[in-house]
């Protein structure tokens, strides 16, 4: 229920801005202009990073994709964070993909103001050095 409320709220804000002709710095998207990261939630557990990249690459080149996975099993938790090469692609993805049905599930697509890589990835990178 909570995820659907967020999806509906993003749709409501986008519709209101379109009706008012708001663009550029007056848009709610503008507060995220310094981040090229998105949160994608509600994904089918069978989807891989490659599947997500295939869907989202229609709005720009993806340069990072982190899919939340269970530590023990490696199974997807149904969400991911991804980054575009060009931040403007995030606006297109949020406006066009938030609330769509993907593999029978309604997905949430939203901006991420300050993305921090997961701790386990940082620890793995330190071990490799």
pLDDT, tens digit (0-9, with 9 covering 90-100), for 90-102: 999 999 999 999 9
The pLDDT value given to residue 13: 72
| pLDDT at position 100 | 94
Instruction: Reply yes or no on whether the pLDDT at 123 is more than 90.
Output: no
Residues in CB range of 103: below 8 A, 6 or more apart: 43, 44, 46, 47
pLDDT tens sequence across 42-58 = 999 999 999 999 999 99
Q: What is the pLDDT of residue 23?
A: 59
Percent of all residues in the chain with a pLDDT value above 70, rounded to a whole number: 77
């Amino acid at each position: 229920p909570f995820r659907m409320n967020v999806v509906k709220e993003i749709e409501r804000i986008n519709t209101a801005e379109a009706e008012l002709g708001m663009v550029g710095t007056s848009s709610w998207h503008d507060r995220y202009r310094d981040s090229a990261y998105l949160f994608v939630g509600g994904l089918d557990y069978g989807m891989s990073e490659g599947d997500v990249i295939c869907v989202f690459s229609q709005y720009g080149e993806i340069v990072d994709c982190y899919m939340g996975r269970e530590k023990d099993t490696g199974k997807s938790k149904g969400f991911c964070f991804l980054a575009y090469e060009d931040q403007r692609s995030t606006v297109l993805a949020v406006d066009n993909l938030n609330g769509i049905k993907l593999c029978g599930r309604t997905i949430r697509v939203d901006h991420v103001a300050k993305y921090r890589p997961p701790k386990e990835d940082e620890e793995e990178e330190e071990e490799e050095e």
